[in-house]
Chain A
Amino acid sequence: MTARTAHARRATAARRRANRIDRWAGLALYATCLAASLLVALLIVDVAYQLVHGSHLAFSRFGLGFLTTSEWAPNFNRFGAAPLLFGTIVSSAMALVIALPIGAAIGLFLSMFAPRAVRGTVGPLVEMLAAVPSVILGLWGILVLGPWVRGTAEPALHGAFGFLPIFGPAQTTGASMFTAGIVLAIMVVPIIASVSRDLFLTVPRELRDGAEALGATPWEVVRGVVLPATASGIAAAACLGLGRALGEAIAVTQVIGNRTGVHASLFLPGDTLASRVANQFQGATSALHTSALFYLATLLLIIGIATNVLAQWIGHSFDRRIGVAR
C-alpha cells in the first residue's frame, strides 16, 4: 500500500514537473519569436532615426530649399538635390517605359502563349536575369553596353528622331542617362514578368472559356478579359519595378556619367539620388558633404515609401472601377 502510494506520488510530481517544463519551454519559444519580431521593428525605426540624424546638419543648413537648388559644389559647401531628383525620375521613368510592356509581354508569353515545355525553361531563365548582381551588370554596362550605345544606338536614334529633344546628339562616351535607363530596364523586366505571369494565371479558367466560346481570337481574349481583370495587379507590379529602379545605386553610378545637370537629351550624363550617394560617400570632403548625402538618402527613402503607398492606392481604386461601366 505504502509503496504504491509513494510511487503514485512520485509519478504525479514528475508529471507536474513535466508540465511546468512544458509551460516554460512554450513561453521561451514565444518570447524568442516575439523578441526577434520586435528587433525587426526596432531596426526599421532605427533606420529612420539614423537617416534623419545623419541629415540633420545639412537640413538645418539648407532646409527644404535643398530640393530646388541645382548646384552641387562640395568645395564651396553648396549642395542641392534638384538635378538628382530630376535624374532619378527620368532614369526610372525610362526604365519603366521600356520594362513595363516587355515585362507584361513576357508574362503573357509564360502564362498563355508559350507551349508548356517552353514555359518551364524560359520562366527560370527570366528569373536568372534578376539574380545577376548589379555590379556585374554595371561592369557590362561600362565596357559593352556603353560603347554600343554611343556607337550605334545614339546616332541611330538621333538620326531618326532627332527632332525630339530627348534624342540629342551623341556624346563622347556612352555614360549617359540613356545607358542607365537601359540597365535599369534590364533589372526591372524580370520583376514585372514574374508578377504579371502570376497575375495572368489567376484569371479564372471559366472567364477565358466564356470569351473563347464567343468566337474570340487569343489576343481578343487577352485584351478583353485577361488584361482588364489584372489591371490593378499590373499597376502594382509597375510600382514594384519602379521601387527597384529608384533604389539602384551601383549599376547606375557605373554607367550614368556622374554629372550634375538637368538636360533634355537622354544622351547626356546625369546622376540619381542613390548613385550620387554611392559615388561620393567614400570620398566625402566634409561633415556637411556627408550630411548632404544622408539628406539625399532620406529623400530616396521618402520617395520609396511614397511609391509603395501609391501602389496600394492604385490597387484599391482600380478594383473599385472594375465594377463600373467602361
Chain B
Amino acid sequence: MTALYDPTAPLTASGNLRRRRAVSAVASSATILAAVLAVGVLALVVFTVIQRGAGAISWQFLTAAPPQFGGPGGGIAPAIVGTATIVAVAAAMAMPVGVAVAIFLTEYAGGRLTRPIQLAVDVMNSLPSIVIGLFVFGLLVAGRHQSGFAASFALAMIMLPLIARSTQEMLRLVPGTLRDAAEALGVSRWRTIVGVILPSALGGIVTGTVLAIARAAGETAPLLIVCSIYGNKTTFDIFGQAIPNIPVSIFTLSEQADPSGFTKAWGAALVLLTFILLTNIVARTLLARSRRNMTR
C-alpha cells in the first residue's frame, strides 16, 4: 500500500511526529507563558498600588485638603472633587457631539461627507494626548490663563472619538428588521432614529460613554499643559482658574523627592485605579450584555 509507514501499526506517533509534537508543545507553552506574564504584570502593578497606597487611605485622606505649604498630612479631597468636575463637564460636552456624529455616520451615511468625517474621527482618535494638550493651550490658555474648562475641553476631545465609535457600533447592531418595520409603517426618518433606533441602542451608548469617562479620568498629559498650576482648596471655578485634579497631583508628587509625597501619590493612585478598574469591569460586562441583547 505505501512504503512510508505501516497503516496497521498502532496509532501512536510515528516517524517524526514525536519531535513535531514536542515543538508544538513548546509553542503552546510559550503562548501560555506570555499570557501569564501579562496577567502577572497587571497583578504586580495592582498589588503594589494596593500595598503602598492602602496605608495612606483614611477618612481624612479622602475628605481633607492638602496642607498649605506642602509636607505630610492632609488629603486629596480637592483633587477628587476637581477631577470629578472636570470629567463631568467633559462628558457633558463630548456625549451629545459624539452621539450626533455617530448618527450622522450611520443613519445619514453615503454622502460625500461620510468618508472625510469618518477620517476626522479616526484622526482624532489617534492624536497623542500631549498634542491635544498643546492644541487646547493654544486655543484657550495662551494669552489668558490655565483653566479647568480647558482641561475639560481637552478631555472631551479624547472622549469624543471613543463615544462616537462605540455609538456607531451600537447603532449598527440595531436589527435591520426594526428599521424596515418603521419604514414600512411610513414613519419619517427622524422619528425612526429618535423613537426606535436610539432607544434600543441607548444602553450601549451610555456604557460606551462610561468607558470613555474611565479613560479620560486617568489622562495626565493634557492636564499637565493646561490645568497644572492650582492651589490647595476645593473649587468649582473651572473657567477662572486651573483646578486641582488627581492625575497631575500624582504626577507632581511622583516627580518630587519627598517620600511622604510618595505615600500620598500611592494613595491617590489607589483611589484613581479603583475607580477606573471597577468602572471598566462593570461597563464592559454591561456592554457585552447589550451587544448580546441586540444581536439575539
Contacts and interface: CB of A to CB of B under 8 A. Distances in A.
Interface in B149-177: 157, 160, 164
A313 to B, nearest CB: 16
Interface of B: 17, 20-21, 23-24, 27-28, 30-35, 37-39, 41-42, 44-45, 48-49, 52, 96-97, 100-101, 103-105, 107-108, 113, 116-117, 120-121, 123-124, 126-132, 134-135, 137-139, 142, 157, 160, 164, 188-191, 193-194, 214-215, 217-221, 224-225, 228-229, 247, 250-251, 254-255, 262, 265-266, 269, 272-273, 276-277, 280-281, 284
A254 B228 contact: no
Contacts of A114: 32, 35
A41 B37 CA distance: 41
- The dominant DSSP class at the A interface is helix
A109 B108 contact: no
A40 B225 contact: no
Nearest to B265: A139
Closest 8 CB pairs of A and B: A133-B218, A247-B128, A36-B100, A50-B138, A105-B34, A219-B24, A33-B104, A217-B24
A129 B42 contact: yes
B32 A109 contact: yes
Contact of B42 (A36, A125, A282): A125
Contacts of A203: none
A287 B247 CA distance: 27
Contacts of A132: 42, 45, 218, 273, 276-277
Contacts of A144: 44, 48
A83 interface: no
B218 A136 contact: yes
A136 B42 contact: no
Given A127-B284, A136-B250, A219-B28, A54 B138 contact: yes
Contact of A131 (B34, B39, B191, B215): B215
A85 interface: no
A65 to B, nearest CB: 22
Interface of A: 22-23, 25-26, 28-30, 32-41, 43-44, 46-47, 50-51, 53-54, 101-103, 105-106, 108-110, 112-114, 122, 124-129, 131-140, 142-144, 186, 189-190, 193, 217-220, 222, 243, 246-250, 254, 274, 277-278, 281-282, 293-294, 297, 300-301, 304-305, 308
Given A142-B254, A254-B254, A30 B108 contact: yes
Contacts of A297: 130-131, 134
Contact of A135 (B31, B35, B142, B251): B251
A109 B31 CA distance: 5
Contacts of B108: 30, 33-34
Contacts of A293: 134
Contact of B128 (A38, A190, A300, A308): A300
A28 B103 CA distance: 13
A103 B35 CA distance: 9
Contacts of A113: 28, 31-32
Contact of A126 (B32, B39, B52, B272): B39
Contact of A277 (B35, B130, B219): B130
A246 B129 CA distance: 11
Nearest to A27: B190
B224 A40 contact: no
Nearest to B211: A131
25 contacts: A23-B188, A26-B188, A30-B190, A33-B100, A33-B107, A40-B120, A43-B120, A46-B139, A47-B132, A50-B137, A106-B38, A122-B39, A128-B281, A131-B276, A133-B272, A193-B38, A218-B24, A222-B27, A250-B224, A254-B255, A277-B130, A277-B134, A278-B224, A293-B134, A304-B126
Given A132-B42, A304-B128, A29 B24 contact: no
A301 B131 contact: yes
Contacts of B280: 127-128, 131
A32 B97 CA distance: 9
The listed residue with most B CB atoms (<10 A of its CB), out of A38, A132, A220, A222, is A132
Nearest to B156: A43
Contacts of B41: 129, 186
A133 B131 contact: no
Contacts of A193: 38
A102 B38 contact: yes
A129 B45 CA distance: 9
A249 B134 contact: no
A94 B147 CA distance: 37
Contact of B104 (A37, A133, A243): A37
Nearest to B117: A37
A49 to B, nearest CB: 8
A51 B67 CA distance: 38
